[in-house]
Amino acid sequence: MSTSGAHEFMNIAREAAGEAVNMGFRIGNRIHAHRERRAERNQLEPVIVPSVGYGSDGWVRVLGRVLYKTDLFEEFFDSVEKGDPAVEPVRGWRSFTSVAISYAKITVEIEGVTHDVQADRGGVVDVRLEQQLEPGMHNVTMRTDGGHPAQTSVYIVPKDQQIGIICDVDDTVMNTALPRPLLAAWNSFVLNEHARSATPGMAVMMDRLHCTYPSAPFMYLSTGAWNVAPTLRRFLHRNGYPKGTFLLTDWGPTPDRWFRSGQQHKVSTLKRLAAEFPHITWILIGDDGQHDPEIYNGFAVRYPHNVKAILIRNLTFGESVLSSGRVWGDNRAQEITKGALWLEGNDGTALYEQLKERGLV
């Protein structure tokens, strides 16, 4: 085949793949629209599942998701509304049976001031509101037509706060073996939240960071979908992790991709936080099972004044093989150019000891 012929073949293949992805996106939209119409006919109750937001001088970022309260998910929704962390275990797949309300209109009330906002196509509420608030926690009430009010909070970061914490979730605070497709499916759709195990020593290390920097914002950055936000919140609460904001992504195909790019989500989120808090230097916490070393290193190169330290948890041999199929010794963290910012260890205890040596806790 000639060079021109090969290029033509590749272009045709790309077009065919693009059409298949776009068709999958359209089919997904139709299925979702059908489920929404059926939920409306059955007069199911709208429910807002709120998440903790954050803000700074003159602005607030409010987060949540708007869903229909299905019978299958009713007990779980009741526990979310009551803020009960001790509800019965929930199978992971139930998080993905909920019916999101596309473009739902929401009223957000913060300290007596109301804002009218709108959810996105997946029912996710992620909006930045202009409002002046004092530093600290503030109550937020979110309402939608036909549903009960939902209560959450936002943390306003003090203007003089200089340290913040950004922490990965999968294989950093909880063991999930996310990159391996079959294990990811098992962990996401089959296991209940009580069956997930906490990473040794990480909760203690995070708690000591919180004690050292009590005014620091805590951000839990994950490639997980917003569907699992309540599960993650309850897992962190049960295992003693500091309260913080979840920075998750959406579920399902996009017009040009079968799956959303988790790496791009993390890169974009870090870039946004650097713009929102130019005065904060972040302690970045992740693991070497996915792309955290590369992403954090790239962020440190682009934003050197916004990184205090990079903590990488090294997966064990078994975790490394299960997580990404890498063999022992193939440690991507070793391939990154490291400097004084870089710390790594097998668990939270080892990382904490290094933090102490650097005078960071």
- Identify the pLDDT of residue 335: 46
pLDDT over 60 (residue 293): yes
Determine the pLDDT at residue 86. Answer: 43
Please name every residue paired with 66 in a beta bridge, in sequence order, or none if there are none. 48
The pLDDT of residue 97 is above 50: yes
- Ordered by start, the domain boundaries in the chain are 1-43, 46-156, 163-357
64-85 pLDDT, tens digit each: 999 887 665 555 555 554 544 4
Using alpha carbons, select from 55, 247, 273 the residue that is nearest to residue 153: 55
Q: Percent of the chain, pLDDT > 90?
A: 47
Phi then psi for 343, rounded to 5 degrees? -130, 145
Q: Over the chain, what is the mean pLDDT?
A: 78
Q: Report pLDDT for 327.
A: 43
Digit-coded pLDDT (tens) for 10-40: 554 455 444 544 555 566 566 556 666 776 7
| Domain at 163-357: CATH architecture | 3-Layer(aba) Sandwich (3.40)
Q: Is the pLDDT of residue 151 over 90?
A: yes
Ramachandran assignment for 111, one of left (phi > 0), alpha (psi -120 to 50 degrees), beta (any other): left
Closest CA to 228 of 95, 121, 125: 95
Lowest mean pLDDT among 79-88, 152-161, 260-269: 79-88
**What is the spatial distance between Cα 89 and Cα 199, in angstroms, rounded to a whole number?**
19
State how far the Cα of 157 lies from the Cα of 219, in Å rounded to an integer.
12
- pLDDT exceeds 80 at position 2: no
pLDDT computed for residue 45 by the predictor: 84
Quickly tell me which residue has 């710390």 as its tokens: 343
- Which of 43-52, 192-201, 305-314 reaches the highest mean pLDDT? 305-314
Tokens of 116: 């009218």
DSSP designation for 315: P
92 or 312, greater pLDDT: 312
Highest mean pLDDT among 81-85, 104-108, 229-233, 319-323: 104-108
pLDDT of the residue at 289 = 79
CATH for 46-156 is: 2.60.40
Give the Cα separation of 174 and 187 in Å (integer).
11
Q: Is the pLDDT of residue 242 over 70?
A: yes
Q: Residue 62: pLDDT above 70?
A: yes
155-210, pLDDT tens digit by residue? 999 999 999 999 998 888 887 655 445 555 544 544 455 556 788 999 999 999 99
pLDDT at 286: 94
Q: What does pTM read for this prediction?
A: 0.79
pLDDT-based confidence at residue 309 (cuts at 50, 70, 90): very high
